Every structure is written in C-alpha cells, then in structure tokens.
Amino acid sequence: MIKLLFGDITKISVDAIVNAANSSLLGGGGVDGAIHRAGGKAIMDECIKISERKGGCPAGEAVITTAGKLPARYVIHTVGPVWHGGMKNEDKLLANAYINSLKLAVKNGVKTIAFPNISTGVYAFPKERAAKIAISTVRQFLKTDKSLSEVVFVCFDRENFVIYERLLKV
C-alpha cells in the first residue's frame, strides 16, 4: 500500500500528485515550479481562482486542481510549514499537510496518490524528522480509511530516499 520511488513526481501516473506549494498558491521553485512547468497553464488558472476566492492556503491545509498536461488527474496543493527550529508548531503543521491532502484525495475519489517530501527543500524542515512524520501520519490514516489503494512517497534527492528506505523497513 505504501510505495517508495526515487525520481520526478511530475512523471508519475497516479490519480493525484501532491504539490509542496506556498500560501499564495501562485507558484515558486522546487517541486512547485516543476509541477507548474510540466502541467501547463490550466493548473495556474485554477490556483489563481482559488487564491482569489479563499485568499490562498494556510500552512497545513490543502486545495485541489486539475493536473493539466500531467499524467495524474489531479494536483493537490498543500502548504508545509517553514522550519523555524521546531517550536512553532512545525511538526503538527507538517502532519496536517499530509492529513488534509489525504482527506481531500478521498473526497475526490482518488485511489492512488503520490507525495513529495513536503517542507524539506526551501522550507528547510530536517529531513529525517519530516520523513518520520510523513510515514507515521500516512500509516495512521490508512488504518482508518479503506478507500485509498496506494500512497507513493517520491524522493527527488538521494538523502531523502535513503532515509525513507530505512524508515519504511520498520
């Protein structure tokens, strides 16, 4: 049910891929930039509409759009916390980013979903700590929800991949 992949999330054929966006929803670098570049204008058009309607997306929450030209059907845009040393509710906000993405996926009939390593790039969340939260949150969610058939962790950097490989074995 939980899979690990090393590579580019924009290339993956699942029902939904998750984007590590920022609160503006209006694009950025990292995986966000890659998704918008590969998926085309349709994704940004919907992000702009959501942003106008809701004033963006706070950390820990998630919104859904088309996946444009990507092989996935949907992009779920979530916003992870910026790492400030661990005393600013970062752990909880990161767990919420995973939970609210999963909830939105289920609500939209998604069966297969792929996550990048949210917050571990520009937002500088320590990678091992983030991976433990990601894995335990997803495992916990899968215990109660029976509609998802596959959750894929997609690691783009080797350091994250090695951490996930080790943590997923136990």
Q: Give the binding site for ligand AR6 (CB under 6 A).
A: 8-10, 20-22, 28-32, 34, 80, 116-123, 154, 156-157, 160
Nearer to ligand AR6, 79 or 148 (CB): 79
| Least Cβ distance, residue 146 to ligand AR6 (angstroms) | 27
| Least Cβ distance, residue 78 to ligand AR6 (angstroms) | 9
Beta bridge partners of 42: none
Pinpoint the alpha helices (H) of the chain.
Answer: 30-39, 41-54, 90-107, 127-144, 158-169
Nearer to ligand AR6, 15 or 32 (CB): 32
Q: Are strands 74-79 and 62-66 parallel, antiparallel or unpaired?
A: antiparallel
Nearest to 115 by CA among 142, 89, 88: 142
Q: Is 32 a catalytic residue?
A: yes
> How far is CA 151 from its chain centroid?
11
| Least Cβ distance, residue 113 to ligand AR6 (angstroms) | 14
Which amino acid does the sequence have at 44?
M
Nearer to ligand AR6, 104 or 154 (CB): 154
Residues with a known catalytic role: 32
